[in-house]
């Protein structure tokens, strides 16, 4: 099927206004969450380019199809970065192509630093998008504080192109760190590792990453705590954390810039799961519930991030969604299948009144059901589970 | 500022409504005596007053649901109210409405230091959320200047900010979950003790929706451990433009202060006369505060001072102790009181891109002459959130109208330079009719379509946020 590649917002609006059949909306196509679906491929790839960058105001505006790599390079030249550290899904999902900034926000992709600075949605300041009726809509702006009308910016973040096709985004950026270090504990079981991470996160020492890699074939368990800032500040806080966590054994401290960057990049991109067979699930839970949830799923291999609040699971191919979600019924939280066969159950089923609101919004934004039908589909999802 | 005329058909149902509310709620939770409902006739935007038909003060989520269900069945508009500190008229009643106040919902339901959250009923004040966790060294970050009085419910409705949001974000960045009652009485839960709710980000959508989508009765809030310490530096300049460049250079240098406050000369003089904080008489003052251990603070302040020196400051005063910090903050924290002593004032809340600061301050100065009213500027420079204070005399005929016209002109200027009408106070009735300056009709239409989904009858706080003309068809259909 021929891919639609509009080169302007106006062309995109005309396509949607005149459309009769559904579309499969994508940016760079590197994060096909929910598996293959019907519809004409519609990409924002050609809506590309940074339109405004003010380093002194910590803001950037870019068209949705702008490659993430271009944005990161432009920011790095000014010593700034996307602080929410979006994951690169290509290694995990075996996709190729260029991730786009629109895709990052449409999927609300946030990495380890989310625990400190917030998610992608917290950095998104303004959007332009074309809704399912072909109308160009603007919401938010390019300033950090804005309560003018409803916050459709947050609604669009993480809506996977089901409410509109993003065309331009303005977002907050932050200064990069002058240096970084990792405090490391080895050999902890999951429960005590999460306890240690909780203690670090409940300290005044501004932890910017808190992860746990359980032991396995390639060595003992590693519990990792990242600190960023000036060298003196990182060294000081590492020392204080080593004191505070002394009961967990000898704590290592690595402040070699490249090694620290490497270990957190591997964690962000789930390198441990690359090339391994099985489905991959992403769970968002209350941190202290995480070890129990993982223990209730024999055969699942876990990686913990966000101090335990984010759990990545590698499970046998075709594992039933209900099996993953059963423990969550007790604890709260939600699970999304990031890799696996297409079909129902990718997204967490919602309680009926919330699903009704979601469906109601969808009908308003896309009354003809043109945008990614079947994706994030509340009630239908429940039926197929 | 107009409010739609009350609907006589609704007014005629008052006694039936009150009787039904009395049957469903404890007797002291329903107020209908006009002498008592007067207490609720306005919020902190005191220029506008109108007593509601009745007031309900439920004591639980269930009672909120009961009250809403009755009002829904009888098609009676409901105006939710937190602590009534809105500067935008967000809680202003209409004569045919019921005020639903959350003032009795003040309990702490759960504190969890291990997972770093607190769950509270939303009538609780902002400061008392921190009060509930500070013995363990924790705090709740958003700190609107009304934090002693304002309720979490109102903070969520207006997505309140504060002086420290450059580092910690505003309410939406610190809100993890809510229990919310829809207009028809349905109780829903969004989010919780985990991050990033499932499905669409309805939590983000309802935060800042000014009580038009539902009534939030419980909230799960992120709490953080307090920093080891915090100290500011005071920097004076003889030009607003240079001060603006200094802010930009500090940010570009990679230092992220917890607050950068800016005051212009009229504000500095008023504060100095009122509080005697020892501020220099100069064109612009910055207070830049950083956090960490003593050594970390010194290191960051050193960087900031080095940047400031390059801009030729007329004053540079680094705090080295808690006393010195308090003295530096004294003038800034008394700014509103100082202004109130001089005259009546209107506090605006537009946000601009930081780069536009010198231009906007210059234009405001020129407009002050054109409108014949004095204005003082105090604002959160790090995030561009301005609070121009326009001085007027409420007893002088025509002054309020002139002040409102001046305010509208400033807010239009904010939009013109790429900013917005309101950074943290909300639209309410105050900026309702300016929305067309920021948004195109289709942008407003889709926002109203969101309200259609949550509140199809347009009964919740109906005459706010959207220009009356834009929302007329929907409100009329409801009536």
pLDDT tens track for A231-258: 999 999 999 999 999 999 889 999 999 9
Of A143, A202, A233, the CB nearest to B420: A143
User: Residue B237 pLDDT > 50, yes or no?
Assistant: yes
Q: Tell me the three-class secondary structure of chain B, residue by residue.
A: CCCCCCCHHHHCCHHHHHHHHHHHCCHHHEECCHHHHHHHCCCCCCCCCCCCCEEECCCCHHHHHHHHHHHHHCCCCEEEECCCCCCCCCCCCCCCCEEEECCCCCCEEEEECCCCEEEEECCCEHHHHHHHHHHHCEECCCCCCCCCCCEHHHHHHHCCCCCCHHHHCCHHHHEEEEEEECCCCCEEEEECCCCCCCCCCHHHHHCCCCCCCCEEEEEEEECEECCCCEEEEEEEECCHHHHHHHHHHHHHCCCCCCEEEEEEHHHHHHHHHHHCCCCCCCCEEEEEEEECCHHHHHHHHHHHHHHHHCCCCCEEEECCCHHHHHHHHHHHHCHHHHHHHHCEEEECCCECCHHHHHHHHHHHHHHHHHHCCCEEEEEEHHHCEEEEEEEECCCCCCHHHHHHHHHHHHHHHHHHCCCECCCCCCCCCCCHHHHHHHCCHHHHHHHHHHHHHHCCCCCECCCCCCCHHHHHHHHHHHC
Of A57, A159, A284, the CB nearest to B196: A284
Q: Is A227 helix (H, G, I), strand (E, B) or coil?
A: strand
Residue A356 to chain B, least CA–CA distance (Å): 9
CATH class of the domain comprising A9-175: alpha beta
Q: Tokens 């709620």 — which residue?
A: B25
Residue A204 to chain B, least CA–CA distance (Å): 5
| E strand or H helix at A126 | strand A124-131
User: With an 8 Å Cβ cutoff, are B188 and A131 in contact?
Assistant: no
User: With an 8 Å Cβ cutoff, are B172 and A203 in contact?
Assistant: no
Residue B125 to chain A, least CA–CA distance (Å): 20
Chain A residue closest to B246 (CA)? A56
Dig out the tokens for B92 from the structure: 């202003």
Chain A residue closest to B228 (CA)? A204
Domain boundaries, chain A: 9-175, 179-268, 271-339
User: Given this chain, do its domains A9-175 and A271-339 carry the same CATH topology?
Assistant: no
Residue A36: its pLDDT value, please?
A: 60
Give the C-alpha separation, B189 to B203, whole Å: 9
Residue B107 to chain A, least CA–CA distance (Å): 22
User: With an 8 Å Cβ cutoff, are A143 and B116 in contact?
Assistant: no
Give the C-alpha separation, B273 to B288, whole Å: 22
> In this predicted model, what pLDDT tens digit does every residue of B323-369 receive, in sequence order?
999 999 988 888 878 888 888 888 999 999 988 988 999 999 999 99
Residue B434: its pLDDT value, please?
A: 94
User: With an 8 Å Cβ cutoff, are B423 and A152 in contact?
Assistant: no
Strand partners, A365: none
Dig out the tokens for B130 from the structure: 């921190």
Cβ-Cβ contacts under 8 Å, A364 against chain B: 446, 449-450, 452-453
Cβ-Cβ contacts under 8 Å, B408 against chain A: none
Q: Which of B69, B137, B187, B204 to mutate to test the interface with A (most CBs of A within 10 A)?
A: B204
Strand partners, A127: A139, A169
* CATH number of the A179-268 domain: 3.30.70.260
Q: Are B232 and B287 in contact (CB under 8 A)?
A: yes
b/e B221-250 (16+ beta carbons within 10 angstroms → b): bbbbbbbbebbbbbbbbebbbbbbbbbbbb
User: With an 8 Å Cβ cutoff, are A56 and B247 in contact?
Assistant: yes
Q: Tokens 């289709």 — which residue?
A: B442
Of B299, B383, B418, the CB nearest to A232: B299
Give the C-alpha separation, B90 to B88, whole Å: 5
Torsion-angle region of A333 (φ positive above 0: left; ψ -120 to 50: alpha; else: beta): left
DSSP A23: E
Chain B residue closest to A365 (CA)? B446
CATH assignment of B108-225, among 2.100.10.30, 3.30.465.10, 3.10.450.40, 2.40.110.10: 3.30.465.10
Q: Are B171 and B161 in contact (CB under 8 A)?
A: yes
Residue A35: its pLDDT value, please?
A: 63
Chain B residue closest to A197 (CA)? B114
Handedness of CA A353, A356, A361, A362 (dihedral sign): positive
Give the C-alpha separation, B392 to B83, whole Å: 26
Cβ-Cβ contacts under 8 Å, B383 against chain A: 143-145
Of A150, A201, A351, the CB nearest to B447: A150
Q: Are B475 and B458 in contact (CB under 8 A)?
A: yes
CA-based angle B471:B477:B478, to the nearest 5?
90
Give the C-alpha separation, A51 to A173, whole Å: 15
Q: Are B3 and B94 in contact (CB under 8 A)?
A: yes
CATH class of the domain comprising B343-425: alpha beta
User: With an 8 Å Cβ cutoff, are A147 and B422 in contact?
Assistant: yes
Percent of chain A with pLDDT over 70: 97
Contact pairs from chain A to chain B, CB under 8 Å = 252
A108 touching B (Cβ < 8 Å): yes
CB proximity under 8 Å: A 239-268 to B: none
Dig out the tokens for A301 from the structure: 């291999």
Domain boundaries, chain B: 108-225, 230-336, 343-425
Q: Are B223 and B174 in contact (CB under 8 A)?
A: no
Q: Tell me the three-class secondary structure of B392-422, residue by residue.
A: ECCCCCCHHHHHHHHHHHHHHHHHHCCCECC
Task: Give the closest residue to A382 by CA, choosing from A359, A355, A349.
Answer: A349
Give the strand order in the sheet containing B98-101.
Answer: B30-31, B54-56, B98-101, B78-81
How confident is the model over B81-107, as a mean pLDDT? Answer: 96
Residue B332: its pLDDT value, please?
A: 87
Task: For chain A, state the CA radius of gyration.
Answer: 21
Chain B residue closest to A363 (CA)? B453
User: With an 8 Å Cβ cutoff, are B114 and A155 in contact?
Assistant: no
Cβ-Cβ contacts under 8 Å, B197 against chain A: 334
Task: Give the closest residue to B215 by CA, choosing from B122, B104, B335, B313.
Answer: B122
Q: Are B406 and B375 in contact (CB under 8 A)?
A: yes
DSSP A194: H
A95 touching B (Cβ < 8 Å): no
Handedness of CA A157, A162, A163, A167 (dihedral sign): positive
Lowest mean pLDDT among A63-72, B91-100, B126-135, B264-273: B264-273
CA-based angle B434:B439:B445, to the nearest 5?
105
Chain B residue closest to A379 (CA)? B199
Of A57, A78, A364, the CB nearest to B354: A57
User: With an 8 Å Cβ cutoff, are A358 and B227 in contact?
Assistant: no
User: With an 8 Å Cβ cutoff, are B226 and A358 in contact?
Assistant: no
A142 touching B (Cβ < 8 Å): yes
Per-residue pLDDT tens digits of chain A, which is 385 residues long: 789 999 999 999 999 999 999 999 999 999 888 766 789 999 999 999 999 999 999 999 999 999 999 999 999 999 999 999 999 999 999 999 999 999 999 999 999 999 999 999 999 999 999 999 999 999 999 999 999 999 999 999 999 999 999 999 999 999 999 999 999 999 999 999 999 999 999 999 999 999 999 998 778 999 999 999 999 999 999 999 999 999 998 899 999 999 999 999 999 999 999 999 999 999 999 999 999 999 999 899 999 999 999 999 999 999 999 999 999 999 999 999 999 986 678 999 999 999 999 999 999 999 999 999 989 874 433 333 3
Residues B248/B250/B256/B261 CA torsion (nearest 10 deg): -70
Dig out the tokens for B125 from the structure: 């004040």
Q: Are A169 and A126 in contact (CB under 8 A)?
A: yes
Give the C-alpha separation, B367 to B269, whole Å: 20
Cβ-Cβ contacts under 8 Å, B198 against chain A: 284, 334, 336, 347-348, 350
User: Given this chain, do its domains B108-225 and B230-336 carry the same CATH topology?
Assistant: no
CB proximity under 8 Å: A 280-299 to B: 284-288
Q: Are A367 and B453 in contact (CB under 8 A)?
A: no
User: With an 8 Å Cβ cutoff, are B188 and A158 in contact?
Assistant: no
Residue B193 to chain A, least CA–CA distance (Å): 5
Give the strand order in the sheet containing B108-112.
Answer: B108-112, B117-121, B215-222, B175-181, B187-191
Task: Give the closest residue to A200 by CA, choosing from A181, A172, A221, A174.
Answer: A181
Q: A59-63 and A80-81: which strand pairing? A: unpaired
Residue A344: its pLDDT value, please?
A: 77
Of A131, A233, A360, the CB nearest to B446: A131
> In this predicted model, what pLDDT tens digit does every residue of A57-113 receive, in sequence order?
999 999 999 999 999 999 999 999 999 999 999 999 999 999 999 999 999 999 999
A40 touching B (Cβ < 8 Å): no
Residue B343: its pLDDT value, please?
A: 84
CATH topology for B230-336 is Alpha-Beta Plaits (3.30.70)
How far is C-alpha A164 from the chain's CA centre? 19
Give the strand order in the sheet containing A310-315.
Answer: A252-254, A179-186, A222-229, A207-213, A301-305, A310-315, A279-284, A334-339
Q: Does domain A271-339 have CATH number 3.30.70.100?
A: yes
Cβ-Cβ contacts under 8 Å, B422 against chain A: 146-148
Q: Is A35 helix (H, G, I), strand (E, B) or coil?
A: coil
How confident is the model over B378-403, as a mean pLDDT? Answer: 91
> In this predicted model, what pLDDT tens digit does every residue of B29-74 receive, in sequence order?
999 999 999 999 999 998 899 999 999 999 999 999 999 999 999 9
**Crossing angle, helix B265-275 and helix B335-342, to 10 degrees?**
90
Strand partners, B189: B179
Of A59, A154, A353, the CB nearest to B186: A353
User: Residue B141 pLDDT > 70, yes or no?
Assistant: yes
User: With an 8 Å Cβ cutoff, are B159 and A59 in contact?
Assistant: no
Residue A384: its pLDDT value, please?
A: 34
**Whether the model pTM is above 0.90:** yes
Q: Tokens 């009652």 — which residue?
A: B181
| E strand or H helix at A284 | strand A279-284
| Cβ atoms < 10 Å from Cβ of A94 | 10
């Amino acid at each position: 099927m021929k891919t639609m590649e509009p080169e302007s917002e106006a062309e995109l609006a005309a396509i949607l206004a005149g459309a009769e059949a559904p579309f499969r909306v994508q940016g760079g196509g590197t994060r096909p969450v929910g598996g293959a679906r019907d519809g004409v491929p519609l990409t924002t790839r050609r809506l590309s380019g940074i339109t405004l960058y003010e380093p002194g105001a910590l803001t950037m505006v870019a068209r949705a199809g702008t490659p993430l790599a271009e944005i990161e390079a432009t920011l790095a030249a000014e010593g700034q970065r996307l602080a929410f550290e979006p994951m690169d899904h290509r290694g995990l999902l075996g996709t190729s192509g260029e991730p786009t900034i629109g895709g990052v926000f449409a999927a609300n992709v946030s990495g380890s630093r989310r625990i400190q600075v917030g998610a992608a949605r917290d950095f998104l300041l303004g959007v332009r998008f074309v809704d399912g009726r072909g109308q160009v809509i603007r919401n938010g702006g390019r300033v950090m504080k804005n309560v003018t009308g409803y916050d459709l910016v947050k609604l669009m973040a993480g809506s996977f192109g089901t409410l509109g096709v993003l065309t331009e985004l303005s977002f907050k950026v932050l200064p990069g760190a002058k240096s970084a270090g990792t405090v490391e504990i080895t050999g902890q079981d999951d429960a005590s590792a999460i306890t240690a991470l909780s203690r670090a996160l409940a300290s005044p020492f501004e932890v910017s990453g808190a992860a746990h890699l359980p032991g396995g074939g390639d060595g003992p368990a590693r519990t990792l705590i990242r600190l960023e800032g000036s060298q003196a500040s990182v060294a000081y806080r590492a020392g204080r954390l080593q004191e505070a966590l002394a009961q967990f054994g000898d704590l290592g401290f690595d402040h070699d810039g490249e090694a620290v960057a490497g270990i957190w990049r591997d964690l962000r991109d789930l390198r441990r799961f690359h090339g391994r067979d099985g489905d991959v699930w992403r769970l968002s839970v209350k941190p202290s519930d995480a070890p129990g949830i993982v223990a209730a799923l024999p055969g699942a291999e876990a990686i913990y991030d966000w101090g335990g609040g984010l759990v990545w699971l590698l499970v046998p191919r075709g594992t039933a969604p209900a099996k993953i979600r059963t423990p969550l019924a007790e604890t709260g939280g939600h699970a999304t299948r990031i890799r696996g066969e297409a079909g129902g159950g990718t997204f967490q089923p919602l309680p009926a009144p919330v699903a009704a609101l979601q469906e109601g919004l969808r009908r308003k934004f896309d009354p003809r059901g043109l945008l990614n039908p079947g994706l994030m589909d509340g009630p239908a999802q429940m039926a197929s589970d | 500022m107009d409010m739609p005329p009350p609907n006589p058909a609704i007014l005629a149902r008052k006694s039936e409504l009150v009787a039904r509310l009395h049957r469903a709620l404890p007797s002291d939770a329903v107020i209908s005596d006009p002498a008592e409902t007067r207490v609720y006739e306005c919020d902190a935007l005191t220029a506008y007053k109108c007593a509601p038909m009745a007031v309900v003060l439920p004591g639980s989520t269930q009672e909120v649901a009961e009250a809403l269900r009755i009002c829904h069945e009888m098609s009676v508009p409901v105006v939710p109210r937190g602590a009534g500190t809105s500067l935008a008229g967000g809680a202003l009643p209409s004569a045919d409405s019921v005020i639903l106040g959350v003032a009795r919902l003040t309990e702490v339901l759960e504190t969890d230091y291990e997972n770093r959250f607190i769950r509270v009923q939303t009538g609780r004040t902002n400061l008392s959320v921190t009060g509930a966790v500070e013995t363990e060294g924790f705090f709740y970050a958003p700190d609107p200047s009304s934090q002693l009085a304002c309720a979490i419910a109102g903070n969520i409705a207006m997505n309140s900010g504060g002086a420290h949001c450059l580092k910690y974000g505003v309410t939406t960045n610190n809100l993890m979950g809510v229990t919310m009652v829809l207009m028809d009485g349905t109780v829903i839960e969004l989010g919780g003790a985990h991050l990033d709710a499932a499905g669409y980000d309805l939590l983000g959508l309802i935060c800042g929706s000014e009580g038009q989508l539902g009534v939030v009765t419980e909230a799960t809030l992120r709490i953080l451990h307090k920093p080891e310490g915090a100290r500011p530096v005071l920097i004076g300049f003889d030009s607003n433009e240079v001060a603006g460049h200094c802010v930009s250079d500090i940010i570009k240098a990679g230092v992220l202060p917890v607050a950068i406050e800016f005051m212009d000369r009229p504000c500095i003089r008023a504060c100095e006369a009122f509080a005697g904080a020892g501020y220099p008489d100069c064109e612009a003052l910055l207070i830049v505060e950083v956090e960490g251990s003593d050594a970390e603070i010194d290191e960051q302040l050193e960087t900031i001072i080095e940047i400031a020196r390059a801009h030729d400051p007329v004053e540079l005063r680094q705090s080295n102790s808690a006393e010195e910090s308090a003295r530096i903050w004294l003038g800034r924290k008394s700014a509103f009181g100082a202004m109130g002593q001089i005259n009546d004032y209107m506090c605006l809340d537009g946000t601009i891109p930081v780069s536009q600061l010198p231009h906007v301050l210059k234009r405001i100065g020129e407009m002050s002459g054109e409108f014949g009213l004095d204005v003082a500027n105090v604002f959160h420079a790090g995030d561009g959130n301005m609070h121009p204070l326009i001085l007027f005399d409420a007893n002088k005929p025509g002054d309020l109208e002139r002040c409102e016209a001046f305010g509208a002109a400033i807010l239009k200027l904010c939009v013109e330079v790429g900013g917005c009408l309101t950074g943290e106070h909300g639209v309410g009735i105050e900026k309702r009719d300016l929305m067309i300056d920021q948004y195109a009709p289709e942008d407003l239409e889709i926002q109203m379509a969101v309200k259609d989904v949550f509140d199809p009858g347009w009964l919740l706080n109906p005459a706010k946020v959207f220009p009356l003309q834009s929302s007329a068809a929907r409100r009329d259909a409801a009536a």
